[in-house]
Chain A
Amino acid sequence: MRASLFITCYNDTLFPQTGRAVVRLLERLGVSIDFLPAQTCCGQMHANTGFRGEAFSQAKRFVQLYRDTECVVIPSSSCVAMIRDQYPGLFEELGNDDLRKQFAALLPRVFELSEFLTDKLGVEDVGAYFPHRVAYHASCHGLRGLHIGERPFRLLSKVRELKLTPIANLDRCCGFGGTFSVKNAEVSTAMLDAKLTDLLATDAEYCTALDNSCLMHVGGALHRRNLKMRPIHFAEILASTEGVYL
């Protein structure tokens, strides 16, 4: 099977280790990976801040770039939610028939990483080894946007030596919200405080999630307060094996 990796703009720039982990994981499972270097951003930041026309130009670029690929894997649930929930409205308003048709044909082939593993590849045990206590943070877009459900838990439960420590108020936002964290920095911080209280109560060594955006937010506060818990993207746990882990 061939899969094209849409790494996302911020993973490319700030979290390349997540991309390397996806490549390692999927190649281990027998998937050949393509990477189209013309890719940039899905347009989520612009759309969610109100820059609709700008978001449209990025959405169009995404569809034109990926329309001929077998399938697209994205290690970020919020970018997938952008494509599923917001592209239709953008194309309805600003696109033409051709674009809408290309998008409709592409959409079923776009997967978030845990969806790709469980739904497309049909695997739960990816052969990973991660001997640590891990708290899973359910990012809002994965939880309520993609209805990701039990998929991440099923995958994590098969990781050898991993101990999952449940977190209270799993469904509550960490307060990132993209430009919200800057426009409403104080409120965002108060939400983050509440999330940290729940996270620290788990006594986990790592906090993982499907999105590095939430993890950048949570991890930034963990570091600011000299706390030992570390953020780690879901893909990096699944890529870890006895020989190589982070």
Chain B
Amino acid sequence: MFRKIAIVTGLGLALAGAAEAQTPRKGGTIRMTAPYGSSFTSLDIHTTQRAQDEIYAKALHRSLYTWDSAEGKPVPELAKEVTVSGGGLVYTFKLRDDAYFHNGRKMTADDIIWSYNRIMDGTKAYPGARFVRVIEGAAAVEKGQAKEISGLKKIDDFTLEMKLTEKVDPGFYFFTALTSIYPADEGAKESFIQHPIGLGPFKFVEHVPGSRIVLERWEKFYKPGKPYADKVIVSIMGEAAARDVAFRNKEIDTSVLGPAQYVAYQADPNLKGTIVEVAEVFTRYMGMNPAFKPFSDKRVRQAINYAIDTDLIISKLVKGKAYRATSWLPLTSPAYDKAMKPYAYDPAKAKQLLTEAGYPQGFEFEWTTSQNESWGLPIVSAVIPMLDKVGIKAKVKQVETAVLAEVVRTGDYQAFIYSQQSGPDPLAALKCFHSSTPQPACNYMNFKNADFDKILDEAGQADDAAKRTQLLQKANALLYEEAPVWFFNYNKAVMAVQPWLHGIQQNPTELTHQNTEELWVDETSPAK
């Protein structure tokens, strides 16, 4: 069971509790915001893996699975029943026979097969290929050696068999919008990118590039009585200050808050109750390159963890909008070990470790960073004097976020500060540290440890869930000990939600990604 520590603070808790007890109201408009840039990337959701795009895609499309925030795990969405056979490698899905695309056609197994074959088209490089590749024969399609994925078999219109290459939970692979199911006939047309058709609770009405997407209720949505709202408008609002004005002016229903706004909203009695928080599955850290001699020594890496007063930085600079990281797996991970304690702030211990490692006078390194306010230059600037106290000098190299992403993939750094997805699947998250994972994939510190590999391989083969969790916790503890990074924090996602909007799900994979069919507005909404 996925642990959930999502919190609704203050008055919000009382209000939310009272509101959820009400009967959901039909009608009205939900006015969401997309805060991560000035545009949506594409209306072809198979082509884009930006969090920004999944906000609208959650209303428009459906995948084989969906993320259930209450359960804290992916659950079947387009299948009524799933049976597992073949030693955990064969999944048989009894599909819904009441799921209609927005053009009125009923979804069948052919649409799922068509969609996954499309994603594996090697000439198009769809990002969802990394998920679909887990199906047997998908890689052959990607390489152009086959036309269709051999591991997908249509038993009948509403029964689909899927054979996997490894023993994993397909829910973690097929719940994001990257693997959305398209209508086979329409999805192939050029016009699809201008007027997308999906299976979601809302159908496409209008896209004003750089401004908004408008969707309206799909009457033939398969969940009885849902969606509640008539319309969803997702406005693109990249500027936090502008969102703040619009939220206070009641023009929008949701607004993602940064650290400064988080403090301001907490201090404002009128806004405090609007705050919704969740520990997202992102770990912030300083990665250390083992090819840089001082960082090849575990004691040096541990010394850095002891030398930094992480709690102070989280409270003063990040304004409490983060949870202290103990090791790699975040609080909301099913394999998070709450008995683990983070590295204590202990400069004397850091000095001792540096001396033992042969660096009594410390050393100098270059620290590559972006300008990000939560895990970039401001944090680096605060850490530098702390490291200086134990003799370690850090030289800042500032780059754009796009450049930083390239730097970490190529290993062209001595140290860098970053935010990386560390869930929801703990096995996939820890695989980033497996020696078989190439550096550009997600093993950015080029971590290699035979003991770690062994534990993780055992976890991957474990049939018993408890045994698997135990092994994953062991691997996570080993990472703590090896300290390939300075464990900084787990992101606390914070969103202000107007009191008239109900049904918000505390989604740790990304708080802005809401199953819109669950949302409803009461009669106090200006857009009722």
Is chain B found bound to chain A in the same assembly? no
A residues lining the B interface (CB < 8 Å): none
